[in-house]
Amino acid sequence: MKLLGILDSIRNKLFSYDKWNIGYISQTPENLILTQRLNGKINWLREGAADYAADPFAVNINGHMHLYYEELNFWKGKGVIMMMDTLHFRNKKKVKGIMKDSIHLSYPYLFTADDSLYCIPETGSAKQVALYQIDVENPSKFKKIKVILEGQAFVDSSIIYFQNKYWLFTSVSGKQGELYVFYSDTLEDSFKAHALNPINVASNVSRSAGRLFIVGKKLYMPSQNPEIRYGGSVMINEITTITETDFKYNTAFELLPQLPYDQGLHTINFAGDLLIVDGKRKVFSVLGPVKKVIRKFRNLNKHN
């Protein structure tokens, strides 16, 4: 039995790799805060060929739901932003107008302001956070409006209008336990840094895991929990105080991944009565060892 356990461990370590997919469940923000759990079984999309389909953000445009997400093909090595106008990967389109293919793209954070639809995708490798406007007549077309922040590898930036200000929550790649908050009266004005930046928070709070949302008059921020593994689960945090000079939060509860994608959950977003999520499972392949070597080589080059 011990030998079988060792062999199984070796098989998992050498021949497995991560596969991310997108799913949905019927649930409102109010119900999530009330029940503090997912409302039943997640409906998973039929997997596409890509290794990574995650960071889903959905929005209603002209009466139709459009879903934006990160897609990553392992052999290409860099994420791109894709869009589909139905919940099926066969209808996907590559978003145009963000950046060159040499930049890794992810986390297409969507929000509306003054009847316009905007996106701040993660462009950490370009060391900037930029605001894009989406053409509602051609939803796969983005137009760059302005650079909000620059100078550091900001990741998973999230923005919301709350208490008469726009609040931008972001993190710097590799710095767990540090949350950066910026604020502005309008999208046209420059964003100012919070007086406490970087704000010291728990390691499972510092990186956003989806769109901030309001229930009643309370502001909630989903965050990624990396304590067991990358993207292991999502924490729901209530922001109890937020001003230009003060910030307090309370972690309310945790959302765990579901079978068969029980190895990870790191993005949740509401779209009307739907809760859109992502999930990770392990896939076994003879190419597993090759992928692991290539990944290690890429990581070494990234840090050199």
What CA–CA distances, in Å, run from 211 to 58, 156, 224?
10, 10, 12
Average pLDDT over residues 180-186: 98
* Lowest mean per-residue pLDDT among 30-39, 178-187, 226-235, 256-265: 226-235
pLDDT of residue 303: 42
Enter the tokens of residue 62: 């002209």
Q: List the domain range (segments joined by +) for residue 253.
A: 18-302
Domain count, the chain: 1
At which residue do the structure tokens 């107008």 appear? 97
The residue among 150, 33, 57 whose CA lies nearest residue 112 is 57
Determine, yes or no, domain membership for 9.
Answer: no
Determine, yes or no, domain membership for 6.
Answer: no
Determine, yes or no, domain membership for 274.
Answer: yes
Determine, yes or no, domain membership for 154.
Answer: yes
pLDDT of residue 299: 53
Enter the tokens of residue 9: 């461990």
Could you give the CA distance from residue 210 to residue 56 in angstroms, rounded to a whole number? 8
pLDDT of residue 228: 86
pLDDT tens digits for 47-74? Answer: 988 889 999 999 998 888 999 999 988 6
Determine, yes or no, domain membership for 3.
Answer: no
Determine, yes or no, domain membership for 176.
Answer: yes
CATH code, 205:
2.115.10.20
Determine, yes or no, domain membership for 10.
Answer: no
pLDDT of residue 244: 97
Could you give the CA distance from residue 129 to residue 53 in angstroms, rounded to a whole number? 22
pLDDT of residue 17: 78
Determine, yes or no, domain membership for 7.
Answer: no
pLDDT surpassing 80 at residue 101: no
